[in-house]
Chains A and B, each alone.
Chain A
């Protein structure tokens, strides 16, 4: 069964790019426009295997989203990748502290995205 990956980004182009790249690799993709939307879809849609989320988003940012996802026992050990531009920023540390598995520094190439997914998703 192919894995379902959720991409959370307020930028439609990033979502499309992630979605395009993942689908080409045979993953199924669920899109969410911000943290709040992601949380809503996560409870509705039960079978998410992994989340790729932006950090800077309106309504609910990525770090809040990660904290909320980790609070759900069901997703306690699910891989969560954050998209970050601040490669050495404390935001990355905050994301890790909130429970992110890893990160991808924007801008990234499709193969980098796939590389990271293969790294954390069995």
Chain B
């Protein structure tokens, strides 16, 4: 890589070449003064010598050549005609430049007087008022807010065509960020509809609030290349002035600053010198220091209290009748349905405005829905604390020592879910107290602490809330359950069923394992009712147990009951909703997949074996099958299961409508919903389908 010193040597050589060119060209011009091409060439040569001269330290060359260039520019522009005098002066200039350049090389000085004579000669050729003035290029430095921290409002609205000048507005913002803190807000109101948008145009403008110490000039510098191709307004706004809404009458200092009589700095320095009232009072010996300090403490205290009160008011709440909330949820449900119709109608229309309105309505409806749902959300804590008393009373009645530990009391659930959850939870806790936790003596023998523990815990998991009831009791007695089930005729004597399936037997109606029926749980009506209630809440229930260590019951409940996100699918003419929270992915059921499983309805999904259910067969649909079917892969009870449908339409805001008593026996269907076009889709109950 060359060094700057080498480059200036290159410049000197280059300049000498140019000087030779100047001499040759000038002589050509003398022969033919109308030779435009030669005049241009001459100008270019002089221009290059001047331009580069200053860059490589040949300032005297640049200064001198500037005058020659000015004169030649006039010749080029036709203002000056080529005369013998002019030719002489150009040749003299050329010699002078050469002498300056070589003087640098040999170290001798050059004849500065000769330079001045040539300049005067050149100037005398120019029309009097056009003579080149030798003035300083440096504009006077004005006071521009430099060094004081000022906040500016910059409104930057580039022309549509700004991109075609190679300008990327982002680079401007990046540069602004380097000079101060800024908040940049894009204004998108001019953005046209997508089909009218020219991607090469810039439709955006920006409002920027910049706080900097560098002053107005530095900001203008950022926009220097674009100032003629944009609307740019830079205004100083001072935070203390502009951001305070009720600032009232201006203070004396503010007025003085505003009238430029004093600077802000001077004011604030003077203010710092001002003594506080307390100090003045102490100095004048009217009161002592301690009295003042005590008064100040009181003042601070009052202030703190007021601040606190203000915060409390902010967090205030109102009580509303539950029916009003229910009505609100119903109305939102209707609104969501109507909005779906609007969106569908708009998507079939070519009217841009309608589409925009429909999208806006959709956005607002979603927000309204989420908000309304969140109003209905209640922390489960109140329900939890009810059980403390229950546990205390029951355990003392049974002569057991039990402690109830609760976790996640702040977990929120839909009001209706919480209300319906009370009874099942109570049954489950009673069971734990009655059957699970052993007496202190038995516990002592088993080497456990005398005091048993029941853990009641709530936790969010996606669109569900998981409630677990753990006890460190004796665990479920598998053999006793089996014997009971055989006795009740639920299973045959030689039935070989898994441990998990055995646990599920206790949910069968009329099942009870307690050797003697206590008045607390074992009436055998408990568990099947629990199961029914949880099912009606679209939840699921799971039991795990370890002999001698304890048992754990896990309830999985949906966050809300009224509206869910669903996946709309079709089978034949019918349309169905699969709850989106269960859906993992959708794959195509190709002939190859169907054939590969040899009729066993199993899919190899990236190495995992996933069974699938043909809903077409399950529902007895006989309409013609499409060429290509789809499998919706779902996660039910932590198992992956596929459901074969004709077509997957897409996501759908599903307002759940109950089916009415006539359809109660329909186990596979949870409810129905009304689609955008007014038709009805059935909501599938995946738990019951598998």
Contacts and interface: CB of A to CB of B under 8 A. Distances in A.
Interface of A: 10-14, 16-17, 20, 23-24, 56-58, 70, 76-80, 83, 85, 93, 96, 99-103, 106-109, 118-122
Contacts of B168: 77, 79, 120, 122
B229 interface: yes
Q: Can you list the 10 inter-chain pairs with the closest CB atoms, starting with the nearest?
A: A107-B54, A102-B225, A13-B11, A101-B166, A106-B51, A79-B166, A107-B55, A16-B7, A13-B10, A85-B51
A93 B165 CA distance: 12
A12 B10 contact: yes
A100 B55 contact: no
Contacts of A12: 10, 14
B55 A17 contact: yes
21 contacts: A13-B11, A14-B52, A17-B55, A17-B56, A20-B7, A58-B41, A70-B164, A78-B166, A83-B51, A85-B47, A96-B165, A99-B166, A101-B166, A102-B225, A106-B51, A106-B52, A107-B53, A119-B172, A120-B167, A120-B171, A120-B225
Contacts of B229: 96
Q: Which of A24, A96, A106 has the most CB of B within 10 A?
A: A106
A122 B48 CA distance: 30
Contact of A77 (B14, B41, B163): B163
Contacts of A85: 47, 50-51, 69
Interface residues of B, number: 41
A27 B593 CA distance: 54
Contacts of B200: 76-77
B170 interface: yes
Interface string B219-233: 000101100110000
Contacts of B175: 118-119
B121 to A, nearest CB: 23
B10 A16 contact: yes
A13 B52 CA distance: 7
A71 to B, nearest CB: 11
A70 B166 CA distance: 9
A96 B159 CA distance: 13
Chain B binding surface, main DSSP class? helix
Contacts of A79: 166-168
Contacts of A10: 44, 48
Contact of A101 (B1, B8, B54, B225): B225
Given A101-B165, A108-B55, A119 B14 contact: no
Nearest to A98: B165
B178 to A, nearest CB: 9
A48 to B, nearest CB: 12
A12 B4 CA distance: 13
B171 A122 contact: yes
Q: Which of A14, A70, A78, A103 has the most CB of B within 10 A?
A: A14
Contacts of A78: 166
Contacts of A58: 41, 44
B125 to A, nearest CB: 20
Contact of A76 (B7, B8, B164): B164
Nearest to A56: B44
A85 B11 CA distance: 17
A63 B165 CA distance: 13
B166 A120 contact: yes
B228 A96 contact: yes
Contacts of B165: 96, 99-101
A102 B165 CA distance: 8
A11 B48 contact: yes
A108 to B, nearest CB: 7
Contacts of A77: 163-164, 166, 168, 200
B618 interface: no
B2 interface: yes
Interface string B2-16: 111011101100100
A119 to B, nearest CB: 6
Contacts of B43: 56
Contacts of A13: 7-8, 10-11, 14, 52, 56
